[in-house]
Amino acid sequence: MVATFETPKDSAQLKTILRYFDALKAWDLAEVGKLFADDFVQSTRPLSLSVPSRTKEEDLEFLRGFSKQLDEKHLEVMIHPSFPC
């Protein structure tokens, strides 16, 4: 038996992820900030990379700096064809 998965079209989690990608592509960090809870913590895996965790404000500041490094050019976010979306 082959396991299959279909992403529900009305998934609140999927809608949030897609909103995040749309905001990030345009560097709309005000919108990104709305999606993060006040106690948000960004952790980068694997831990062996030794990237420290960041709070909501620290992560938004990191994204601001990153966008400036890219001259605030829009990003292209691509989802791998095998992703069940």
**pTM for the structure as a whole:** 0.71
pLDDT tens track for 24-42: 988 999 999 999 999 999 9
Question: The domain containing residue 33 runs over which residues?
Answer: 12-69
pLDDT tens-place string over residues 7-16: 677 889 888 9
CATH number at residue 32: 3.10.450.50
Q: Which of 69, 42, 47, 72 is nearest to 58 (CA)?
A: 42
Number of domains in the chain: 1
Distance CA 24, CA 31 (A): 9
The reply to whether 2 falls in a domain is: no
Question: Residues with Cβ < 8 Å from 42, sequence gap 6 or more?
Answer: 53, 54, 55, 58, 59, 62
Cis peptide before 81 (omega within 30 of 0): no
Rounded Cα distance, 58 and 82, in Å: 33
